[in-house]
């Protein structure tokens, strides 16, 4: 039997590891020929509805790339459907909602999530994977700001004017929406942990659009509540945002164990801003298209910064994209393992 690989969990907890663990955001997706083949038969949400297929898609990058963690295959929008949001994933665009939120009445119409009733396939998929995998499974959810950006804009946005306008002009509605989404997120994450997820990541991809004062006032209390609740489940918690380096100092005060940063902030800077946290990141995914020597140099620099003390996880600064190459990701994963086993491995 293959031994369970717990390097990722150890790194989350800031413990010494034999090599720096690596996984990739969006490691299951269209850059994989096998995934594209499955998508010829199933729509995105059809995969989600079918635990056996969903488990296979989740496991694919673990077998193919040799990463140290799996992440449940779903979308941040998955738990919004059952509470009454009519969301479609449009290829090349992202989540689209025809009837965006505009008022208190729209928010009050949103239902409550009962996972066993509404999304039984999620814990079922988690259970299949927990039995099958020899690496930890990461459960995840979208953070309230990032979810609300889709709910209010009706789709992806470059500047979040509508979302921020709503936040500034309608604070009572805003905080009602944050509360509703926080409850949803907590319920959804707890169900994944109860089913066997060994860590959780909260994706706040677009929160970097806010300044520090706005983050403090409109977002921090909600994130504090989410991480405080999930921490009670005794699994490591990770918080990710892109373009959010200016917020990392505030994130250091959240009860999350790991902060995931992008390439706009160096690992060393992140460490200085949040010395009490494990740091995850931060290769620019665009670099996957660079010549190998450049990828290797950049990766070495990231690993030397991250490996200077325990508590580092290698990842990209944001998700893998369809044009990336499987062979490059395989080579990168092997490089991270080999280089850090030689240079940064602690005594076990
Ligand atoms: O990381 C993983 O492998 C797990 C699966 C996962 C998906 N989405 C699958 C997916 C995760 C963790 C997400 C999170 C997610 N979804 C985020 C946060 C992370 C980030 O990238 O910022 C956000 C903002 C979304 C919303 C979303 N869903 C976007 C922007 C897109 C891409 C649109 C496109 O067509 O490229 C999606 C769709 C989506 N989510 C796909 C996958 C594999 C592509 C669906 C397909 O066409 O097969």
User: Which of 22, 24, 25, 26 has most ligand 1 atoms within 8 Å of CB, for mutation?
Assistant: 26
Q: Are 233 and 193 in contact (CB under 8 A)?
A: yes
Q: Whose CA is nearest to atom 41 of ligand 1?
A: 29
What atom in ligand 1 is closest to the CA of residue 26? 1
Q: 155: Cβ below 6 Å to ligand 1?
A: no
User: Which of 58, 75, 96 has most ligand 1 atoms within 8 Å of CB, for mutation?
Assistant: 75
pLDDT on residue 1: 62
d(CA 225, CA 319): 26
- B/e letters for 90-110, b = 16+ CB within 10 Å, e = fewer, are eeeeebbbeebbeeeebbeeb
Give the CATH class of 7-343.
alpha beta
Catalytic residue, candidates 24, 31, 35, 150 = 150
d(CA 230, CA 238): 11
Helices (H) and strands (E) in the chain, counts: 16, 9
The residue behind tokens 């988690």 is 126
> Does 39 participate in catalysis according to the annotation?
yes
Question: In the Cβ-directed half-sphere of 146, how many Cα atoms lie within 13 Å?
Answer: 22
* pTM higher than 0.75: yes
* Beta bridge partner(s), residue 199: 138
Q: Whose CA is nearest to atom 11 of ligand 1?
A: 75
d(CA 224, CA 178): 12
User: Which of 22, 89, 145, 243 has most ligand 1 atoms within 8 Å of CB, for mutation?
Assistant: 89
Q: 32: Cβ below 6 Å to ligand 1?
A: no
Q: Whose CA is nearest to atom 33 of ligand 1?
A: 94
> Does 150 participate in catalysis according to the annotation?
yes
Complete DSSP assignment for 201-233: EEE-TTGGGS-HHHIIIIIHHHHHHHHHHHHTT
How much distance in Å is there from the Cα of 198 to the middle of ligand 1? Answer: 21
Q: 95: Cβ below 6 Å to ligand 1?
A: yes
pLDDT on residue 17: 97
d(CA 123, CA 116): 8
What residue segments make up the domains of the chain, in order of their start?
7-343
> Does 271 participate in catalysis according to the annotation?
no
Q: What share of the chain is helix, strand, coil (3-state, %, to 5)?
A: 50, 10, 35
In a 10 Å sphere around its CB, with 0-12 CB exposed, 13-18 middle and 19+ buried, how is residue 232 labelled? exposed
pLDDT on residue 235: 98
pLDDT on residue 296: 98
Catalytic residue, candidates 6, 26, 68, 271 = 26
User: Which of 22, 38, 55, 76 has most ligand 1 atoms within 8 Å of CB, for mutation?
Assistant: 76
How much distance in Å is there from the Cα of 309 to the middle of ligand 1? Answer: 32
Catalytic residue, candidates 6, 68, 75, 204 = 75
Q: 89: Cβ below 6 Å to ligand 1?
A: yes
How much distance in Å is there from the Cα of 348 to the middle of ligand 1? Answer: 36
How much distance in Å is there from the Cα of 172 to the middle of ligand 1? Answer: 30
Strands 237-240 and 258-260, bridge-based pairing: parallel
The three-state secondary structure class of 235 is coil
pLDDT on residue 2: 80
Q: Are 226 and 237 in contact (CB under 8 A)?
A: no
Q: Are 281 and 261 in contact (CB under 8 A)?
A: yes
Q: Is the dihedral of CA 71, 72, 77, 80 positive or negative?
A: negative
pLDDT on residue 347: 44
d(CA 18, CA 212): 37
d(CA 127, CA 132): 9
What tens-digit pLDDT sequence spans the chain (348 residues)?
689 999 999 999 999 999 999 999 999 999 999 999 999 999 999 999 999 999 999 999 999 999 999 999 999 999 999 999 999 999 989 999 999 999 999 999 999 999 999 999 999 999 999 999 999 999 999 999 999 999 999 999 999 999 999 999 999 999 999 999 999 999 999 999 999 999 999 999 999 999 999 999 999 999 999 999 999 999 999 999 999 999 999 999 999 999 999 999 999 999 999 999 999 999 999 999 999 999 999 999 999 999 999 999 999 999 999 999 999 999 999 999 999 999 986 544
Q: Whose CA is nearest to atom 34 of ligand 1?
A: 92
Complete DSSP assignment for 73-140: S--TTGGGGGGT--EEEETTTEEEESS---SHHHHHT-----HHHH-THHHHHHHHHHHH-SSPEEEE
């Amino acid at each position: 039997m293959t031994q369970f690989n717990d390097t990722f969990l150890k790194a989350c907890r800031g413990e010494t590891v034999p090599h720096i663990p690596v996984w990739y955001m969006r490691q299951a997706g269209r850059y994989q020929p096998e995934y594209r083949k499955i998508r010829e038969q199933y729509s995105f949400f059809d995969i989600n509805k079918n635990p056996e297929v969903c488990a296979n898609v989740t496991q694919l990058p673990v077998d193919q790339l040799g990463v140290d963690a799996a992440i449940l295959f779903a979308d941040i929008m998955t738990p919004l459907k059952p509470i009454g949001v009519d969301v479609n994933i449009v290829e090349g665009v992202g989540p689209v909602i025809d009837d965006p939120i505009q008022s208190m009445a729209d928010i009050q119409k949103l239902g409550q999530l009962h996972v066993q009733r509404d999304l039984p396939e999620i814990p079922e998929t988690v259970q299949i994977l927990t039995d099958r995998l020899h690496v930890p499974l990461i459960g995840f959810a979208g953070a309230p700001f990032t979810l609300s950006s889709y709910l209010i804009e009706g789709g992806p946005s470059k500047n979040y004017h509508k979302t921020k306008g709503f936040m500034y002009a309608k604070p009572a509605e805003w905080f009602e929406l944050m509360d509703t989404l926080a409850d949803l997120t907590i319920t959804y994450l707890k169900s994944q942990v109860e089913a066997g997820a060994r860590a959780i990541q909260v994706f706040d991809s677009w929160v970097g659009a806010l300044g520090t004062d706005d983050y403090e006032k409109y977002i921090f209390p909600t994130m504090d509540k989410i991480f405080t609740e999930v921490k009670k489940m005794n699994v490591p918690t990770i918080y990710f945002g892109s373009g959010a380096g200016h917020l990392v100092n505030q994130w250091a005060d959240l009860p999350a164990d790991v902060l995931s940063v992008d390439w706009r902030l160096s690992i060393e800077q992140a460490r200085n801003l949040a010395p009490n946290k494990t740091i995850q990141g931060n290769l620019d995914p665009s670099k996957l298209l660079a010549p190998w020597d450049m990828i290797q140099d950049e990766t070495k620099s990231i690993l030397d910064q991250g490996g200077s003390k325990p508590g580092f996880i290698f990842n990209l600064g944001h998700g893998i994209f369809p044009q990336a190459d499987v062979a490059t990701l395989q080579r990168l994963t092997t490089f991270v393992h080999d280089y850090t086993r030689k240079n940064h491995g602690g005594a076990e």
